[in-house]
Structure 1
C-alpha cells in the first residue's frame, strides 16, 4: 500500500509538472537556460547583500554611533551653555554630524521608522550597544538625512547624520543591473536556440509532408551537427523510398500488361469460337458465355490486386474541391445503378489530395452500398483543422464486433467482391494522413466517417 501511495503521489506530481512546463521544444530549451541563470543571479544577490552589505552597514553604523557616543560623553562632562554651544560647533565641523541641544525637551516616540535593507537594524543594534539612553531614529522625514533623537536627563540631543554615511547604496541599482544582464544573456541565448529549433521544425514539417505523400524535395541541412545529420539521413531515406515506389510501380505496370495480354487473347478466342453447325450449339454458347464472364472476373480481380499493391503512390497531390469531388463520385455510382439520395457539402471546402485515389476510395465505399441495393447519402463539413466526409446508407450495416475485421484483406469478399475494397479505402485514407471509423448510421445502416487534414 505504501508503494502504491508513493507511485500515485509521484504520478500526480509528474502530471502537475508537465502541465506547468511549456509544450514546445523552444520553450523547454529556453527554460533550461533561464532557470540556471536565475539561480546564479539569486546566489550572487544573496552573497553580496547577505555578506558584504551587512558587513559594510554594520561598520558604517559603528562609525556614526561612536562619534555620537563621544559627543554625549563631552556633553555630560561640560554642561554649561557656552561649553555645549562650542561642542556642537566642533562636532558639526569635524564629524559632519549636525548636533542640536533642546533643553528640557521630551521624546514622544521611541525606536525607529523601518526602511528596506540591513542598515536600519544595524543602526538600532549599535545604538543600543553604545548608548544607554532612550532614542528615536527617523529615516523618512528627509531622503538625504537621518535624524537621531536621544533622550538625556535634562533634554533631547538631536543628531542630523548624512544618509550617505549609513546607506551603502540603492539596492535597486544592483538588482536592476543583475536583471538587465540576465535579460541580455537570455536574449542572446534565445536567438541561438531559435535558430537551432528552426532547423528541427523544418525537419519535422518535411517528415510530416512526406508522410502525407507530398513531394517536399530534399531539405537543406542546417543547425547543430546532430540536426544536420538527421536532415541528411531524412534526405537519403526520402530518396530511397521514392526510388522504391517508382521501381515497384514500374514492375507492377509490366506485370499488369503481361497478365492482361493472355486474358485478352482468351476473350478474343472465345468470341471467335464457331457456334453453328453443332448439335449442342445452345449449350456451347452458354459455356462460352460463362468462360467469358470468368475472364472478365479475372481481369477485375487482377486490377483490384494491382491497385491495392500500387497504392496510388505515384500520383501527385492537388487542391481538390470537395463538393465537386462528391458530385463526381455520386454521378458515377448513379450511372452504375446505385441510388444516391443526397449530397451535402459546406461551401469552400478544399483539400490537398490525390484525385484518382480519393475517387477510388469514395467509389469503393459507394460500390459496397450499391451491391447491397442500399440508398446512399454523402456529406462533408469542416471540423477544426480537418475535413470530415461521411457516407451513410440504409443497408444491413456491419456488427460492431466485425467493424475492425472488415478492414483486413480478403475478409469481406461477398456478393462478387474481392475482399480488398475497405482495405484499399483505409490504405488511401492513411496515406493522406487521415482516419476512418465505422459506426451506426442514423439512416439505419452503416456510417463511414473519414477525417482528413486540410
Structure 2
C-alpha cells in the first residue's frame, strides 16, 4: 500500500498546481463541478425522463383515443365531428388524408429522450406505422399515422413535449462560474496577505528593514502577521541591546586596563623597592582585576541570556519566597509578601529568579526595603516589587532600562536591561512607576 501511494503521488503532484492560490481554487472548483454534475444527472437523468415519458404518454393516449373513435365511426359526418371535438378539447390539430400512404417511418430527427419516448409511446398505444416530424415547424410536432384507408395527421404543440429547458443548464453553469469568480477574488486576497508575509520574512532574513507588515486577510493570517511583527521587533531590540553592550565593553574596560598599565609602568624596575608602596600597588591592581572580572561576568551573562533553560510550570508564591530568602541573606529587609491567589505559571524559573534578584538588589543598593506582591489580572499575572527608597524621576523611568544607564549605584548598568530582556522573552513586559511606599515600584507582567 505504501509503495502504491508513492507511485501515485508523483503523477498527482505533477497535475496539481504548485501555488497555494491554484490549489485553493481547485479545492473550491472540484466540489462545485461535482455538485453541479450530480444535480444535472439527477434532473436530466431521472426527473426529466419521467416527465418526458408521462407527457409523451399523454399525447399518445389522446391520439390512440382519436384513432379508436375514427375506426369505430366510419361515416364522414361522424369523423368530422370527432376531429372537431378533438381539436377543441385536446389542442391537437387533427387532419385526415384519405387514400394516402406513408413513405417514411420513424422520426425526422433524434433529439434524445423526447423523441424516443414519444415514438415508443405511439408504438405501444397504436401498433401502427408512424412518422414524427420534429423539424418542419418550430412550434408544432407533426405526427403521421398510417390507417387502413388513409393517413391521420396530428399536430401537437411542442410545448406539450419539450421538457428540457436549456436555461436550466445555463443557470447551473452560470452559477458555477459566478461562485468560482467570487471564490477566486476572496482566495486571491487571502493568498496576497500570505505572499506579503512571506516576502517580508525573506527580506528580513536578508537584513533589509522593510518595517512592520500590515495585518490583513483571515484571522489566522492576521495573527501570523502580528506575531511576525512582534518577532521582528524583539530581534531588532535584541540586536540593538547586544550592539550597545559590545560598544560599551571597550569603554568600561579601558579605565581599569589603563590603571593597570600605569601601575605597572610606575613600579620600580630596579633598586630597592618600598614594600608598603608595592603592597598598595598590588592591592589596587587586584581590585581593578576583580572589577574587570565582575564586569566581564555581567557582559557574558547578558550575552548568554536564559534561552537554554526549559520552561516549566511553577507557583508564583514559591518563586517570591525564594527571591525573598536570597534577598534576606544578602542583608535586605522584606516588608511583606502578598499572594492572595495561588497561581501556576509556565516560565524559566532560574531566569525569573534572576529578574527578581536584579530588581531587589537595585532597591537594596539604594537603601530601600522591599514589599513583594502578585495577583492575576485576566490572562496575565502582575508581580510588583515596591521599595521605600528615594525612587527615580518620572522622566528617567524608561531610560534606565538602556544598557549602562543605571550603573551609578555601584552596578554595571545591565541589571534592568537583563531583567527586561528576560521578561520580554517570556512574552511579558516590565515597567517602573511610583510606589505606594514612597519609593519605586517595578511591575512585571507575565502571561498565564
How many residue pairs were aligned?
263
User: Which of residues 91, 94, 97 is equivalent to 2:92?
Assistant: 97
Mark the CA change 1:140 to 1:263 in structure 2 (over 3 Å): closer, same or farther: farther
State yes or no: 1:249 paired with 2:221: no
How far apart are the structure 2 equivalents of 1:217 and 1:54?
Answer: 65
Answering whether residue 50 of structure 2 is matched by residue 55 of structure 1, we say yes
Identify unmatched segments of 5+ residues in structure 1: 266-454
**Does the 8 A contact of 2:48 with 2:164 survive in 1?**
no
Aligned equivalents of 1:137 and 1:240: distance in 2?
A: 84
Shift of 1:243: 2.2
Quick check: 1:29 aligned with 2:14? no
Map 1:198-209 → 2, pairs under 5 A: 198-209=192-203
Instruction: Give CA deviations for 1:189-212 in whole Å, capped at 9, x if unaligned.
Output: 222222222211111110011111
The CA deviation at 1:169 is 4.5
Answering whether residue 134 of structure 2 is matched by residue 139 of structure 1, we say: yes
Compute the displacement of 1:49 (Å).
2.0
Tell me by how many angstroms 1:17 deviates.
2.0
Instruction: Note the residue ranges of structure 2 that are not aligned, 5 or more in a row.
Output: 260-448
Q: Distance in 2 between matches of 1:66 and 1:22?
A: 57
Pair 1:238-2:232 in alignment: yes
> Residue 36 of structure 2 is aligned with which of 17, 41, 50?
41
Residue in structure 1 matched with residue 64 of structure 2 by the alignment: 69
Normalised by the size of structure 2, how large is the TM-score? Answer: 0.53
| CA deviations over 1:318-376 (Å, ceiling 9, x no partner) | xxxxxxxxxxxxxxxxxxxxxxxxxxxxxxxxxxxxxxxxxxxxxxxxxxxxxxxxxxx
In structure 1, what is the Cα distance between the partners aligned to 2:27 and 2:225? 25
Q: Would you say 1:154 and 2:149 are equivalent positions? A: yes
- Correspondence 1:3-402 to 2 at 5 A: 7=3, 10-170=5-165, 172-254=166-248
The residue number in structure 2 matching 1:369 is none
Q: Larger Rg: 1 or 2?
A: 2
* Aligned-pair CA distance for 1:180: 1.9
Corresponding residue SS for 1:150:
strand
Query: Paired residue for 1:394?
Result: none
Counterpart CA distance in 2 for 1:115 and 1:217 is 69
Shift of 1:164: 0.8
Structure 2 Cα separation of the partners of residues 146 and 225 of structure 1: 61
Which residue is equivalent to 2:373?
none
Aligned-partner Cα distance in 1 for 2:114–2:21: 44
In structure 1, what is the equivalent of residue 375 of structure 2? none
Instruction: Give the Cα–Cα distance (whole angstroms) in 2 for the partners of residues 153 and 118 of structure 1.
Output: 30
For the residues of structure 1 that align with 2:94 and 2:258, how far apart are their CA atoms? 124
The offset of 1:262, in angstroms, is 11
User: How far does the alpha carbon of each residue in 1:20-67 deviate from its partner, in whole angstroms, 9 at most, with x for none?
Assistant: 222221221122112112211222222222222122212211111111
Q: What is the DSSP-based 3-state SS (H/G/I as helix, E as strand, rest coil) of the residue aligned with 1:216?
A: coil
